[in-house]
Amino acid sequence: MDLPVDEWKSYVFQKWSLLPKSIQVTISTAETLSDIFLHSSLLLQPEDEMFLQNLSRGYLVEKDPNAPLFYREEGNKKFQQKDYMGATVLYSKGISHSRPHTADISLCYANRSAALFHLGQHEMCLKDIMRAQMHGYPERLQPKMMLRKAECLVTLGRRQEASQTISDLESSFSAKPTLAAAQFQILQTNLCRLKMKAQEKESLTETFPAALTKALEDMDLKGENGQVPSASSSVSLRTDPLRGRYLVATKDILPGELLVKEDAFVSVLHPGEMPPLRHLESKWDTRVTNGDLYCHRCLDHTLATVPCDGCSYAKYCSHDCMQQAWDLYHSVECSLGGLLLTLGVFCHIALRSTLVARFEDASKVIRKLCSEIRNRDTCSPERETLVQTLTCDLGGESENKGKMLEPPVPGCDLNGKYESNYNAVFHLLPHTGNHSPEHRFLCALSVSALCRRLEAAGCYKPAAAVPPGSGSELDVWGVAMLKHVLQLQCNAQAITTIQHTGSKENSVTNSRQVRLATGIFPVISLLNHSCSPNTSVSFISNVATVRASQQIGKGQEILHCYGPHQSRMRAAERQQKLRSQYFFDCSCAACQNEKHSAATGPRWEAFCCRSCGALMQGDDVLICGSTSCMESVSRDHLISRLQDLQQQVGMARKLLRNDKPERAIQLLLGCQRDAQSFLSGEHSLVGEMEDDLAQAYAALGDWQKSATHLQKSLQVVEVRHGPSSVEMGHELFKLAQLFFNGIPVDLSSCPSAQAPNKDSLLAALEEMMWDPGL
């Protein structure tokens, strides 16, 4: 979803192929973004806009007056099945399609409050009760909802408010004697129970995940960095012709030290699995997406979203977030939801960046655009119009009009300070020449179509630096948006979160890192790549933190992994990925070392000899690595056996998902015996089977055997991903769950001589706190 939908891409690529060769050459050889944008925008025809508009209509982002009833009824079905999470999401979908101050929205809020109550989300429940009342919840249904409010207040220990609510209920019952006896009796019974529950609750401490999240949120950078405010005083900004801008350590840095804490300049939530209506069986989608569970502005997880009043797509964690988003950008984006979903996340971020820039002093950026447009040997009438628009009334002192004062480092201000602002974003490299002509045309035509739509809707207000009323003011920002779209391939940061998998009945759950949103972080973009980095990046909402994952000596460069990590890909695969997306060949230490590694390949992919157990070596034909063994076998034969084994393991996992752990164990133990005859003990599939066995035994309540297999899985994970990896953290967390669920657990039978006790495990978990996702 980063780029436009496939239908629009195919359409534009076909349009490109049909262009006269001379026009293709003109766009392909254009030396500036302004030339690419102006030439491409002239080629956008009404039939192109109509095709794009038809694609955009496929997304249901407007409010449908018939949808609230449908979603409320579907939510009621889930509620009756005691699937309160599913009911909550469906009620939220109904709320997003409802107009303010209608029966639809008040009923959906009230129903969602009931589901939230059963999920134990009492604060959210109270907020939904208040919202239901604010939107005109029917008087005849008020007693039932007020009883729920009283229960929440008692549970939360807010006794004075609870007493007032109960008093109001008693008054209401007195006015309705036919209801008073039964209702009041229920109230008194529940009140006694809830008072006891409240007393117990007062003695409980904060839960570990909540405490951990709060602790991470409260962590601040050590020391003030006058050069890069979002970084600690332990790092400094440098630049050279080969490495560009980069960060280095100004002193010795210990593992876990916080180096960067940066808010996204802008971020856009990934829509997730949100196919157009033409691909759905029903008009209304009941599936859960990121947009149903996360705030579209701050990316906080929430079960009680507050919708935009104008569209059904944008949802927020609070009214404050909704208002901030509206003031900054959503007042423009609201009517463009279908178009932005069609054009992709990169176009959306590009538009949002220019909208946010309206609230900054963008005069330097405008002058930069002006400079790029002016400094050509030939100046077309279109380009001259842009120059006149840009140089007119730029603000500042008169002698500086039309002039560019370049700071020593691109993106810094004249005092050398590099801040997370639009100036820094604008100076991120777009690598225009590295993108194919077809890709540049796709991006330029998409931005042109977006600009036409903005102009037609009359909803775009230019930045203060661009004079109001100028005919080409939107084209100015079109050039800027094109630059941002091209920048994002190399500079966008995937904002990730941890999702738990498996059924809620499982005592031990799995977790995986998933992409939640895409954002621009100008300071993090300064970090160069290494396949074996010395830092790790993690996210809390739309705030990114960079921590040292190992000791970093004074003067060493601070390095970040762009995705291709040595523990997940071979060198050839990493190089291909980096070359295609980031346009460079990696020469980091990990890549250099792998060139000289043995022919066996990574240990987690190695085959072993069936006769002596030594590792097999070679290419098409593998030969035993032991000099005393002459065993040989074709690689294709072993790969075929591996694929068969993977299929068997997949069947065992399906049995686990279907709550058949005994049969899964039987199948997995057979797979283990087969694996021993040709796979290395450190092969990744061997570790996965140990993990599956741990889950199966945990499902049966056999904590002893579960811990034994999980310990073996830990050994394989450490070999592949390292002791400080997020994958190791996930396995340690599962082991912690075994301790908490199956105390006492005796690990003396584990093969490792260093089986962890509870103290060492908790210490290890604490050590993992600064790894991504933990």
pLDDT (0 to 100) of residue 566:
83
Q: Between helices 103-118 and 67-80, what is the axis angle to 10°?
A: 20
69-88 residue pLDDT tens: 999 999 999 999 999 999 99
Helices (H), 461-568: 473-491
* DSSP states along 644-655: HHHHHHHHHHHH
| Euclidean distance between CA atoms 193 and 693, whole angstroms | 42
pLDDT (0 to 100) of residue 202:
45
Name residue 239's beta-bridge partners.
245
pLDDT (0 to 100) of residue 335:
92
| Euclidean distance between CA atoms 296 and 340, whole angstroms | 14
Contacts with 6 (C-beta within 8 Å, 6 or more apart), sequence order: none
Report, as an integer, the average pLDDT of 158-178. Answer: 74
| Euclidean distance between CA atoms 36 and 479, whole angstroms | 9
Nearest to 548, CA basis, from 137, 252, 257, 129: 257
- Exposure pattern of 506-528 as b/e (b: 16+ CB <10 Å)? bbbeebebeebbbbbbbbbbbbb
Domains and CATH numbers, the chain: 6-54+342-376+412-458+471-490 (no CATH), 66-199 (1.25.40.10), 569-598 (no CATH), 616-741 (1.25.40.10)
Tokens of 275: 């196919």
Tokens of 449: 């179509």
Q: Burial level of 195, CB count in 10 A (0-12/13-18/19+)?
A: middle
Report, as an integer, the average pLDDT of 498-516. Answer: 67
Tokens 């070999």 found at: 719
DSSP tally for the chain: helices H, then strands E: 30, 15
Judge whether 765 and 732 are in contact, CB under 8 Å.
Answer: yes
pLDDT (0 to 100) of residue 40:
94
| Three-state secondary structure call for residue 618 | strand
Sorting pLDDT into bands at 50, 70 and 90, what band is 2?
A: confident
Tokens 């990934």 found at: 270
Contacts with 630 (C-beta within 8 Å, 6 or more apart), sequence order: 624
Residue 563 neighbours by CB distance under 10 Å: 14
Sorting pLDDT into bands at 50, 70 and 90, what band is 626?
A: confident
pLDDT (0 to 100) of residue 590:
86
Judge whether 511 and 498 are in contact, CB under 8 Å.
Answer: yes
| Euclidean distance between CA atoms 183 and 177, whole angstroms | 10
Instruction: Return the H-helix or E-strand segment holding 146.
Output: helix 142-155
| Euclidean distance between CA atoms 570 and 12, whole angstroms | 35
27-41 residue pLDDT tens: 999 988 888 998 999
689-715 residue pLDDT tens: 999 999 899 888 888 888 889 889 988
Residues listed for the chain: 774
| Euclidean distance between CA atoms 103 and 155, whole angstroms | 29
Helices (H), 410-547: 422-426, 437-457, 473-491
pLDDT (0 to 100) of residue 487:
95
Cα 198 to chain centroid distance, Å, stands at 37
Helices (H), 362-461: 363-374, 381-391, 422-426, 437-457
| Euclidean distance between CA atoms 76 and 90, whole angstroms | 9
| Euclidean distance between CA atoms 31 and 22, whole angstroms | 16
Q: Which amino acid type is present at position 140?
A: R
Residue 251 in this model has a pLDDT that exceeds 90: yes
The CB-side HSE value for 221 (13 A sphere, CA atoms) comes to 19
Tokens of 478: 């079109």
| Euclidean distance between CA atoms 717 and 702, whole angstroms | 23
| Euclidean distance between CA atoms 206 and 228, whole angstroms | 35
Nearest to 580, CA basis, from 431, 426, 418, 370: 431
385-437 residue pLDDT tens: 444 443 333 333 333 334 444 557 888 888 889 988 998 999 899 999 999 99
Sorting pLDDT into bands at 50, 70 and 90, what band is 274?
A: low
5-58 residue pLDDT tens: 999 999 999 999 999 999 999 999 998 888 899 899 999 999 999 999 999 988
Judge whether 235 and 248 are in contact, CB under 8 Å.
Answer: yes
Contacts with 683 (C-beta within 8 Å, 6 or more apart), sequence order: 603, 604, 605, 606, 607, 675, 716
| Euclidean distance between CA atoms 221 and 686, whole angstroms | 41
Tokens 């008087």 found at: 139
Long-range CB pairs of 25-29 (<8 Å, 24+ gap) are 27/437, 27/440, 27/441, 27/444, 28/437
